[in-house]
Amino acid sequence: MGLNFISSILFATVVAGTPLIIVALGELVTEKAGVLNLGAEGTMSVGAVAAFAVAYHTGSPFLGILAGMGAGILMSLLFGISALTLMANQVASGLALSIFGVGLSAFIGKPYESVALASVEPIRIPLLHKIPLFGPALFEQQGLVYFSWVLILLVAWFLYRTKAGLVLRAVGEAPVSAHSIGYGVVKIRYQAVLFGGAMAGIGGAFMSVFYTPMWVEGMVAGRGWIALSLVVFATWRPARVMIGAYLFGGCMIAQMFVQGSGVRISVPAQFLSAIPYAATVLVLVLISRNRSTIRLNSPASLGQTFLPDA
């Protein structure tokens, strides 16, 4: 295995992990407020197609990202109306969002299936990108890759170093107490849900505008669900999301790894494609096995409907 090969593996791992980081961090904030939104897959899909369409018509990838974000916010607003305002079951509302979003994206995206976008030039950090081995992986990437790193710091800072973050966590741990001392539980949960939607939309935009760059029905391929699993894997801690995301990013490019390594093993392509999904199951088992880990780290009111006047 040559140096170049390892370097390109590292590069591809970071790229594959980026949408997972962004989407999982959004979901992490949502869940910290006590809301389980299973709609990430649908939100990502709609974000991806909206971003692609706008980037295609305007020629601007940046406007594409904004469109993905906007679409994500609108999608999560649907979830909010259902699960927060109308107090429907969060699991069912999230499933509805996923089913609706995947269908809607296929519907909107049909005319765009035959067109492609020009690939966007990466942003090179002067000098640093020439570092052998990990230079390209860390310093010659799309803007959203750098954004994902900043986002980890921002989310960690917000949750653990600001008053608003403290309140958000309080709402997730003890909504009734937070309500009784005057915090607007539903309002704060709405903000958390919309932030999660925005991030899922950006994650989708990264997929369709920068990663592939094209739109195909079903291209999100379970990444929304994997991002949800990542939050559990990370035991609701922002920094650990990054580790998990790159781990899964690595799993996703297993195909490239096997083909490029020069080792002649004949494994059906489908087996390699199944690795990320199998790895998700495995990781969920390893983390959840210890019940107290989950109980200590998951927000206490996660998934429970809050009734303002009950």
Contacts with another protein by CB under 8 A lie at 38, 42, 78, 81-82, 86-89, 91-93, 95-97, 99-104, 106-107, 110, 217, 221-222, 225, 228-229, 232, 268, 270-271, 273-274, 277-278, 280-281, 284-285, 288-289, 291, 294, 307, 309-310
Please state the closest distance from residue 53 (CB atom) to another protein, in A.
14
- Rounded CA gap, 136 and 12, in Å? 10
Sign of CA dihedral 176, 182, 186, 191: negative
Residue closer to another protein by CB (options 107, 160) is: 107
Query: Is residue 94 packed enough to be buried (19+ CB in 10 Å), middle (13-18) or exposed (0-12)?
Result: buried
Residue closer to another protein by CB (options 122, 303) is: 303
- Rounded CA gap, 284 and 230, in Å? 9
Residue closer to another protein by CB (options 13, 229) is: 229
Tokens, residue 221 = 């391929």
Please state the closest distance from residue 88 (CB atom) to another protein, in A.
4
Please state the closest distance from residue 85 (CB atom) to another protein, in A.
8
Residue closer to another protein by CB (options 205, 231) is: 231
Residue closer to another protein by CB (options 74, 81) is: 81
Residue 58: count other Cβ atoms within 10 Å of its Cβ. Answer: 12
Tokens, residue 195 = 């932030």
Please state the closest distance from residue 276 (CB atom) to another protein, in A.
8
Please state the closest distance from residue 290 (CB atom) to another protein, in A.
8
- Rounded CA gap, 210 and 222, in Å? 18
Beta partners for residue 141, in sequence order: 123
R_g of the chain computed on alpha carbons: 20
